Amino acid sequence: MKQFAKMAIPYAIWAAVMIAIPMLMILLYAITESGNGVVTLKFTLDNFIYFLTDPALLRVLMTSFKIAIYTTILCILIGYPAAYFMSKLNEKYRTTVLLLITLPTWINMLVRTYAWMGMLQVDGLFAQILGMLGIGDVQLIGTEGAVIFVMVYNFLPFMILQIYTSLSKMDKSYLEAASDLGANKVQSFWRVTFPLSLPGVISGITLVFLPAASTFQISQLIGQGSVPMIGNLIESFFLKTGDWNKGSAISLIMAVIIMFSMYLAKKVDKDPSTRGRI
Amino acid sequence: MKKLLTLVSAAFLLTACSGGGSQEAIDKYGSDTLKVFNWGEYIGEDVIENFEEEFGVTVIYENFLSNEEMYTKLQTGDSYDVLVPSDYMIERLIQEDMLQPLDLSLIPNIDNLAEGVKNLPYDPNNEYSVPYFWGSVGIVYNKNNVPLELLEEQGFAIMQKTDYKGRIYMYDSERDSFMIALKALGYSMNTSNEDEINEAYEWLVQINQTMEPAYVTDEVIDYMANGVKDLAIVYSGDAAYILSENEDMGYYCPEEGTNLWSDAMVIPANAENPKLAHEFINYILSYDASYANSNHVGYASSNQEVLDELSSGMYADNEAYIPRSGYEKDEVFVYNKDLTAKLSELWVKVKIAE
């Protein structure tokens, strides 16, 4: 076995260079002040204080999480039934439906977002359809609703696939046992199928919530700069103001909050009260 | 996206063009390759090729998207022979000893310079720089929806008129946004007075709170050419393009003054091939190259003859092509390091203010 352990060395180096060192750099930037030379490092907590004491910046953080949570909830509400019916489908059709769902992801996300930008534009396709229906002049682009809509569109396949995988892995004999013991269809769904599919839902949440909370292109392109999210703040601190220290501090705060929410999600996943009903 | 494409194609060109130089060029200039670093979408179609043919050299042509990006690349040690930064960045490069003085005897075409770009304050005697394009910043407006009289009466403050709520594009850059705010309030755009800057900040915040503005950069060109909204802050050269695409659009520079900017060619101190660089600068100033550039890109030429010809020809009815002169309150940006940092931080806050 010992010689196999050596095979992990390239991976360890890769992980160190691509993950650990950049994270440490972010940490270092976050707790130092910007000086001209790297030599004159001065440690400070000002970057965190700057962020945590500014109501406007905190509001952006709240907006980001609000948008990410709405996106995730919508993805579950749309994705779960979709995945459920897919898992009930005849084998023949499953692959086709699966293909249809993954098809959009073959195209770059940015390109798809640009397409939505055109359709949601003032005088764009959607505005024209709404106009024909007599709803009139509704501003779509540049609104929170539009940002959430495009995010749900972009991230929905990840949710569906995760839930679908866990549903189709499920042992059907549990359902037979449940009906033998007198459970009706609704009861057996809530007490057998749903708890068993939770791991899929949780990993779906991870895959949707993380990119939704930290996106900056969708909020820039669809929000037209008027739906600022935390990703846009980080971007402007790094690229526009050139203040890497504050940008790093914000990234770090964001990372901590996300890690904490992931920890909570995993905890729900492992909680015996949600598992033990089988 | 367009710029990304340019960048990619530039990279292809780079690999495709290696090895076209001649011994003659090496004897004359000491080398047969020239590295040029210019803005994206900023040169006529065959200008580089013609230069290569005429002088038997190879040009490595790269693009940047902002002055700051160019500056960062220089700092990381990349060496170029010719750069085309803007006024305030040239001032900074001069201050930091990153440029070399020009030998004007090698640039006889400097006599072609347009009146408007002579004796610019950042480099009064063209000791370090030779202008490339120049222009102003103004308002592109839909003539059917916005009366010119109202624009003349309001100036930049029209961006605060709630009649146009949700119908405006702001330019997503702190320099240009603070410029219009300071001008609207009657201050100098180069002020470092805290109170004036705070007032400008509040002015911009008010727009964010009441006008539902969209913050865009280059997208504005397509949007306004398609007439998506009524008002937009736009650079004159982009405006010239918008006006030529959509005849409903007009361009207006408020009386209260605006930013007159210019981009100019300079030779960095660490240039490997300054002799050929001088030849290139001279070539760009020639009638043919200047005409090709300005005709293609839409920005005002630094060559007087080209300027006269295009403004009476192709751009005759296009009020955005020629930058105006004779307005006392028009200003040129001055480089101020602390101010730049402060404004960019405030700009982040303007966009998130509620």
Domains of chain A: 57-242 (1.10.3720.10)
Residue range B120-134: average pLDDT?
Answer: 92
Q: Which residues of A touch B (CB under 8 A)?
A: 54, 56-57, 59-60, 114, 121-123, 139, 141-142, 224-226, 228, 233, 236-237, 240-243
* CB-based contacts of B323, cutoff 8 Å, min separation 6: B116, B134, B135, B136, B236, B260, B300
> Which has more pLDDT, A35 or B53?
B53
Cβ contacts (< 8 Å) between B345 and chain A: which residues? 241, 243
pLDDT for residue A278 is more than 50: no
β-bridge partners, B60? B35
Interface test with chain B among A36, A240, A244, by most B beta carbons within 10 Å: A240
Alpha carbon distance A32, A38 (integer Å): 10
Instruction: For residue A80, count other CB atoms closer than 10 A to its CB.
Output: 20
**Cβ <8 Å between B347 and A240:** yes
pLDDT of residue B74: 87
Answer yes or no: do B308 and B329 share one domain.
no
- The one-character DSSP state at B139 is E
Q: Please name the member of B166, B215, B348 whose beta carbon is closest to the beta carbon of A241.
A: B348
Q: Please name the member of B166, B170, B215 whose beta carbon is closest to the beta carbon of A139.
A: B166
pLDDT for residue B11 is more than 80: no
Asked if the C-beta of B344 comes within 8 angstroms of chain A's C-beta atoms, the answer is yes
> Nearest CA of chain A to the CA of B290: how many Å?
32
Whole-number Cα distances in Å, B217 to B41, B172, B221: 14, 6, 8
Is there a domain that residue B319 lies in? no
**CA geometry: angle at A20 spanning A14 and A25, to 5°?**
125
pLDDT of residue B146: 94
Res. A47 pLDDT band, cuts 50 70 90: confident
Structure tokens at A250: 């914000």
Res. A277 pLDDT band, cuts 50 70 90: very low
Answer yes or no: do B250 and B266 share one domain.
no
Alpha carbon distance B201, B194 (integer Å): 10
Cα-Cα-Cα-Cα dihedral sign, residues A244, B175, B140, B312: negative
> Nearest CA of chain A to the CA of B340: how many Å?
8
pLDDT of residue B57: 93
**Cβ <8 Å between B354 and A123:** no
Alpha carbon distance A70, A149 (integer Å): 10
Answer yes or no: do B195 and B329 share one domain.
yes
pLDDT in tens, B253-305: 999 999 999 999 999 999 999 999 999 999 999 999 999 999 888 899 999 99
**Cβ <8 Å between A123 and B348:** no
Q: Please name the member of A56, A139, A242 whose beta carbon is closest to the beta carbon of B353.
A: A56
Q: Which domain holds residue B304?
A: 2-133+262-312
Answer yes or no: do B298 and B227 share one domain.
no
Is there a domain that residue B17 lies in? yes
Answer yes or no: do B206 and B101 share one domain.
no
**Cβ <8 Å between A57 and B353:** no
Q: Which pTM value belongs to this model?
A: 0.79
Is there a domain that residue B243 lies in? yes
pLDDT for residue B14 is more than 60: no
**Cβ <8 Å between B354 and A59:** yes
β-bridge partners, B233? B139
pLDDT of residue B2: 52
Answer yes or no: do B146 and B115 share one domain.
no
Answer yes or no: do B17 and B129 share one domain.
yes
Cβ contacts (< 8 Å) between A66 and chain B: which residues? none
CB-count exposure of residue B251 (10 Å: 0-12, 13-18, 19+): buried
Q: How many CB pairs under 8 A join A and B?
A: 58
Interface test with chain A among B96, B351, B354, by most A beta carbons within 10 Å: B351
Reference B73, options B59, B60, B63, B86; nearest CA is: B63
pLDDT of residue B325: 75
Q: Please name the member of B68, B213, B229 whose beta carbon is closest to the beta carbon of A226.
A: B213
Is there a domain that residue B291 lies in? yes
Res. A75 pLDDT band, cuts 50 70 90: very high
pLDDT in tens, B55-74: 999 999 999 878 877 887 88
Reference B107, options B264, B284, B273, B269; nearest CA is: B284
Answer yes or no: do B206 and B83 share one domain.
no
Mapped onto helix, strand or coil, the DSSP state of residue B66 is: coil
pLDDT for residue A57 is more than 60: yes
Structure tokens at B209: 């709170």
Report for A16-30, A251-265, B48-62: range of highest mean pLDDT: B48-62
DSSP B238-256: HHHHHHHH-TTEEEE--TT
Tell me the average pLDDT of chain B. Answer: 88
Answer yes or no: do B63 and B209 share one domain.
no
pLDDT of residue B18: 46
Answer yes or no: do B215 and B297 share one domain.
no
Cβ contacts (< 8 Å) between A108 and chain B: which residues? none
pLDDT of residue A1: 59
Answer yes or no: do B207 and B340 share one domain.
yes
CATH number at residue B188: 3.40.190.10
Cβ contacts (< 8 Å) between B214 and chain A: which residues? 141-142, 224-226
Answer yes or no: do B304 and B335 share one domain.
no
Is there a domain that residue B228 lies in? yes
**Cβ <8 Å between A241 and B341:** yes
Cβ contacts (< 8 Å) between A142 and chain B: which residues? 166, 212, 214
* CB-based contacts of A92, cutoff 8 Å, min separation 6: none
Q: Quote the strand ranges of chain B, DSSP E.
A: 33-39, 58-64, 82-83, 129-142, 168-171, 214-216, 231-235, 249-252, 260-266, 300-301
Asked if the C-beta of B213 comes within 8 angstroms of chain A's C-beta atoms, the answer is yes
Is there a domain that residue B317 lies in? no
**Cβ <8 Å between B215 and A225:** yes
pLDDT in tens, A88-113: 888 888 889 999 998 988 999 889 99
Is there a domain that residue B305 lies in? yes
**In angstroms, what is the C-alpha Rg of chain A?**
23
- B52: part of which helix (H) or strand (E)? helix B47-55
Is there a domain that residue B59 lies in? yes
Res. A179 pLDDT band, cuts 50 70 90: confident
What interface predicted TM-score (ipTM) does this complex get?
Answer: 0.75
Res. A170 pLDDT band, cuts 50 70 90: confident
- B349: part of which helix (H) or strand (E)? helix B337-352
Q: Structurally, how many domains does chain B consist of?
A: 2
What is the chain A residue with the closest CA to B226? A123
Tell me the average pLDDT of chain A. Answer: 86
For chain A, where are the alpha helices, taking DSSP H only?
2-6, 9-15, 21-30, 46-52, 55-88, 91-102, 109-120, 125-132, 144-169, 173-180, 185-188, 194-214, 217-221, 230-235, 244-270, 272-275
pLDDT of residue A40: 63
pLDDT in tens, B131-183: 999 999 999 999 999 999 999 999 999 999 999 998 999 998 888 999 999 99
Cβ contacts (< 8 Å) between A121 and chain B: which residues? 228
pLDDT in tens, B45-55: 899 999 999 99
